[in-house]
Structure formats: structure tokens, C-alpha cells
Chains A and B, each alone.
Chain A
Amino acid sequence: MIKDITIGQYIYKDSVVHKLDPRTKILASMFFMFGIFLINNITEYIFVFLLTAITIYLSQIPVMKIIKGLKPIFPLMMLTVIMNMFFTQGAAIFHWAFINITREGIYLAGFMGIRIFFLIIFTSLLTLTTSPITLTNGIEGLLTPLKRFKVPSHEIAMMMSIALRFIPTLIDETDKIMKAQKARGADFESGNIIKRTKSLVPILIPLFISAFTRADELAMAMEARGYRGDEGRTRFKELKYRNIDRIILTIFAFVLVFLIIRKIAF
């Protein structure tokens, strides 16, 4: 049941991509997302394909693993392709009853499908090559410059790492509560919407109370160990940009700026 959940999809490999600074990877992934919505011709799609292929090759992640991760988005992708194919105006090349398949429709459908495909692959490469804790450190690093504008970057990172640590504990808790209520005759799986929603109240109430108790205990433990925010706090592993990070970020930034300027200018 819910005990079988594994959170995260991180696969450990000793590769160049794994060793990149998490900040580089997050930023590159975001630049890639904006970029892929701005490209519009086959040459650029080939470039994107090469970029993705090289990244996968360097990361040493098995290709099958990535394809497996694509399965859940398949329906959405098909939907996009079909919607574009049937509802785009243009020169018809196939006509039957009310169905009109146009040249433009096929092009657009192909592009849109490929776009979603690359978008998902590149995002999942981020979570495949970076462990959640490293990602958290990366987010803290990226938010630190915003401290001037009162963004509590340390607190955010602290909350994230505590949250990650408590996921297994709370899975156990939720499982226990659900079983306990089932033993008392609760039924979560039948009836209409209203009835199903109502049946959830007996799970949520004990969950809330246990959450508060747990947080109280944790607060006490942290205070006893002298936690007082991030003033004067040091870390065991410091994030450091290396030359390769700088090079990658510069290239991604340049390409994105170029694409944006082209979009605005033409």
C-alpha cells in the first residue's frame, strides 16, 4: 500500500552531470524550459535533441529509466498532438466527414509533441541526477541574494530538509491511522463524491493532532540543541561554482537571451 512509496528518483552515478553545482543544474533547467518555448524551426529542434542526448550520455542514467518516467505524460502528449492535428486551419491533405487534417496541423502537432517530450526529459534529468537534499541546498544558494528583500532563504531550506526527513515518518503515521479507522469500519473506497469526502474527516483529524505533537517535540529538541536561525551558522559542505559551472551557465544564458531578443525583434 502507501508504505511502498519511494520519494524521489535520484540515481547515484559518478558522472560529470552529477558533480555539477545544484544551482547550475536548477538554473540550466529553467533556462531550458523558457528556451524550448521560444524555438520554432527544425534546425533548433535538432540542436535541442543533441543537447538532451549529450546530457543523458554524460549523466550515465540508463535511457530506459528516462523512457519509463515518460509513461504517465503519454496521455497528455497524445491529447496535445490530436488537438493540434484536427483543429489547425490550413491546406487540407486529408478529408473525411468532419475531420480535416492539414499540413500545418501535422507540423504543429509534431512540434508540440516533441516540445513536451523534451521539456519533461530535461526536467526529470534534474531530479534524476540531483538528490533532494542537494537540490534543497541549491535552492537556498539561489535564494540567498534575495535575503536583502527579506526572503527567508535559510528558513525555507531548513523547512525543506526537515520536510524531506519527515516524509517516511509521516507515511507510517498516515498508514497507521488509515488502518486503525478501517478496523473501526471506515470505508474510503465506495460511494459518491460527498460520501467519500466525508469519510476522510476521521483520517484528517488524527493526522493534524499528531502533526502538531510531532512539531512540538521537534521544536523542543531543536531549542535544546541551541538552534537559533542562521546567524553564525556554518556548513560542512559549502557549495562552490567551478569553471565548468560558469561555462555552462554562460552558454545557457547567452542562448536564452539570443532567443528572447529574436522573439521580440521579429
Chain B
Amino acid sequence: MKNKNLRIMLYLTILSVISFLLMYIMEVPILSLVGMPGFEFLKYDLSEVIAIVAGFIFGPVAGMIVIALKSILFFFSGKNTTGWVGLAASLIAGLSLVTGTTLLYKIKQSKINLFLGVVIGSISITILMLLFNYFVFLPLYGIEANAFWITGLAVFNILKGLLSGILSVVLYRILKKRVETFLNK
């Protein structure tokens, strides 16, 4: 086929729809699953997994596009309950996780970089979300950032990063061969 850009654009579009649907159908408040009550508004979903795999296949920018499109779709869908602030928060979280996880693999495609990426991704989402929550989001809601919130947010973001990252690596390693046949068509 001639137009490779068009095809990649469409791959990313369909992937972001899937990412959006996964976010839409199952959001799990994981912190209560691991025994930390009080954080029911922090929900885990699988949407980032799709974006990270897209990032592994097409590079970090592709992953970022998937995240952005997914967030906007979610904003439109009417299930978004936090308005513009929620949109901004989910965008920042998603972008930092995807970029952190896939950047190293883009530079050099090796097995170690996949796993190092997962660690870097979790660290980057945790640090960025803590900073943004401390300086922007919590003050917007008039909540004072104390140890309780910081621990909750840190645990949530580390868990989120690690779970999504590991799942993406597993998926990517299974999918790699199949996807290559598509790309070389």
C-alpha cells in the first residue's frame, strides 16, 4: 500500500477507541483492593496499556497521540465527572507514563530497555502526578496536601505504572511478530 502515514494514523485511531472503551467499561478503585480505603476516586483502568503498546510499536509520539485522543473521547462521553480538571489530570498522567515507558525502547530496541522502561515509566508518572497534585489539583479542590494524600497518591501511581507497564510488555512480546506482518504489507 502506498500511503503509510494514513495507515498509521488509522491504526492509532482504532487503538485509541479501544483504549477509551477499556477506560469506559472498567474502572477499578485498586487502592481498596490492596487494603487502602479512602481513595475511591482514584480509579485504575487499562487504557494506558493500549497506549504503551502503541508506543512500543510506533514510538513514543504515537503513544501520546493515543492518550490524547482517548482523553478527549472520554471528555465527550459524558462519563467524565471532573470536567476540565479531570481531563488535564488524566492527560498528564497518561502522557508521562507512556513517554517514560517507551522512550528508552525507542532509542535502542532491546529486552532490557523494555523492562527498564517499565520502571522509568512508573517513576515518572509518580513524580509528575505528585508534583501536579501538590501544586495544582489538590489546591484547586481546596484540599491541603498532607502525608495521607501523598502516600495514597504515590502508592496508586506506582501500582498503576507497574501494572500497566508489565501488562504492556507481556502483550507487546506476544504481539510483536503478528504486528510486523501488518506493517510490512
**Which residues of chain A from 84 to 135 have any CB-CB distance to chain B below 8 Å in the complex?**
84, 87, 108-109, 111-112, 115-116, 119-120, 122-124, 127, 132, 135
| CB-based contact B25/A160 at 8 Å | no
Minimum CB–CB distance from B150 to chain A (whole Å) comes to: 14
A205 contacts across to B, CB distance below 8 A: 171, 174-175
| CB-based contact B85/A163 at 8 Å | no
Contact of A80 among B9, B24, B81, B143 (CB under 8 A): B143
| CB-based contact A135/B21 at 8 Å | no
The answer to whether A174 has its CB under 8 Å from any CB of chain B is yes
Q: Give the interface residue-count category, chain A.
A: 35 or more
The answer to whether B77 has its CB under 8 Å from any CB of chain A is yes
| CB-based contact B21/A170 at 8 Å | yes
The answer to whether B158 has its CB under 8 Å from any CB of chain A is no
The answer to whether B107 has its CB under 8 Å from any CB of chain A is no
Taken together as a complex, chains A and B put the C-alpha atoms of A233 and B33 apart, in Å, by 52
Minimum CB–CB distance from B114 to chain A (whole Å) comes to: 16
| CB-based contact A223/B11 at 8 Å | no
Q: Which residues of A contact B (CB under 8 A)?
A: 2, 5, 7-9, 29-30, 33, 37, 69, 72-73, 75-76, 79-80, 83-84, 87, 108-109, 111-112, 115-116, 119-120, 122-124, 127, 132, 135, 139, 155, 158-160, 162-164, 166-167, 170-171, 174, 192-193, 197, 200-201, 204-205, 207-209, 211-212, 214-216, 218-220, 222-223, 227-228
Q: Which residues of B contact A (CB under 8 A)?
A: 1-3, 6-7, 9-18, 20-21, 24-25, 30, 33-34, 40-41, 46, 49-50, 53, 65, 69, 72-73, 75-78, 81-85, 140-144, 146, 163, 167, 170-171, 174-175, 178-179, 182, 185
Listed by A's residue number, 14 A-B pairs whose Cβ atoms lie within 8 Å are A7-B78, A75-B40, A84-B142, A119-B85, A159-B13, A166-B17, A193-B30, A200-B46, A207-B18, A214-B14, A215-B7, A215-B14, A220-B1, A222-B6
